[in-house]
Chains A and B, each alone.
Chain A
Amino acid sequence: MSIAIDINNLTKQYDETAAIKNVTMSLEKDKIYGLIGRNGAGKTTLLHMLAGQSLPTDGNITIFNQPIYENKAALDQICFTAFFANPSFAKYAISFRVKDFINTAAKFYPNWDQNFANQLLNEFGLSPKKKFKDLSAGMVSMVSVVISLASRAPITLLDEPYTGLDAGARHLFYDILAEDYGQNPRTIIFSTHLIDEASRLFENVILIDQGSLVFNLPIDHIEAMSFLISGPTNLLEQIVVNKRIVHKESLGNNSSVAVFDTITNDELVSYKHAGLNIQNLSLQKLFVYLTALNRRAM
């Protein structure tokens, strides 16, 4: 597997806070990465640096072995979209139409596919003539999504592409992404709060908490280590030992524990034999428990 993005000891310091601290990881080519983290964890800061829009305070990033900053060869391969309807931008854009955003974007991306962009606008029900001031939050997100997908950029970064998108539009997004990625593989990183919903599309999950990298793992490794085990409390405490427990709940004589650790097949069978109930622990729950733990430890 070849490496698309190499990140070494990356740090972004703002006065006293480090928004990103010492992050080191390698991201492989042609994979879909899910970037998850609590609000303020540093996801957007990280994406801005990956897109060459902000300079690291320390460390470096290379894209296909090249530095990004002010390097056209690298920048041409990257597309970064985020929710763009913030108030200061809105003043300039007030009379822009959807087609203006699309036509402008087309000039920046060497791999731009206009037919695909038109098809996407159609599928989302977005009228090219509509003015920016008349767009709802969901529609603004749709424009961002259309641009990021039609760019066919080898490195496509989406910062919370769903702001305002209703369930129907989100499912349309997943559908289109799955299909287009299958036909046109590329490296895609998208940050999201809707973890369980989006997780089927992830090949790897990057979890950032309070500026630090918690893990960058293939999703099936994570799934193979995520369990919810329940049963009588004393039985549980006897049998489930030497495993990393991230959450525990009790009601009467029964407890359930969330485990983030490897459990061999033999161990699983012995747990079942003993009468314990074993279920999958969803990525979203794992995320909630891991990030809550970090806070309690402070």
Chain B
Amino acid sequence: MFLSNDSTKPIYIQIAEQIEDEILTKVLAEGSQVYSTNQISSLYQINPATAGKGINLLVDEGILYKKRGLGMFVAEGAVKLIQKKRRLSFYNDYLIKTLTEAEKLGITKDELVNMIRNYD
């Protein structure tokens, strides 16, 4: 996990997305415990309130939940929730850049589709 100072995304969003990534790639299983805000803020040397903001974002979206006295846990169905959320922004966040670059290079849509088909 690392934070980019160059990204246009605020740090608390980067934290939230990194946790989401770990949930998607099953590093953090549904039902398992997530790092505490103090652990995160210590690791990245960020303000604990910023770490807390990232975690709260995920709690608000139902991806994480809090068990009193124990900490934060990954909710059941979190993977599906994250996939659904990210599908909506996939086009804007990833596809536009690829399409504009392909246009610049004169790569046709057919060639692009073939590249996609051949991806393993």
Contacts and interface: CB of A to CB of B under 8 A. Distances in A.
A105 interface: no
B10 A282 contact: no
Interface stretch (B44-52, B61-69, B79-87): B44-52
Given A31-B49, A203-B50, A220-B12, A280 B6 contact: yes
B38 A182 contact: yes
Quick one: which of A31, A174, A181, A200 has the most chain B CB within 10 A?
A: A200
A282 B37 contact: no
Contacts of A174: 45
Interface string B86-119: 0000001000110010000000000000000000
B7 interface: yes
Interface string A164-200: 0000000100110011011100000000000010001
Interface residues of B, number: 25
A175 B45 contact: yes
A32 interface: yes
A160 B5 CA distance: 22
B11 interface: yes
Interface of A: 31-32, 171, 174-175, 178-179, 181-183, 196, 200-203, 220, 223-224, 227, 269, 272-273, 275, 278-280, 282
Contact of B37 (A182, A227, A273, A278): A182
Interface of B: 3, 5-12, 37-38, 41-42, 44-50, 53, 92, 96-97, 100
A202 B48 CA distance: 10
Contact of B47 (A175, A202, A224): A202
B45 A178 contact: yes
B62 to A, nearest CB: 22
Contacts of B7: 280
B8 A275 contact: no
Contacts of B5: 196, 280, 282
A206 to B, nearest CB: 15
A32 B47 contact: yes
A273 B46 contact: no
Quick one: which of B5, B10, B45 has the most chain A CB within 10 A?
A: B45
A273 to B, nearest CB: 6
A201 B100 contact: no
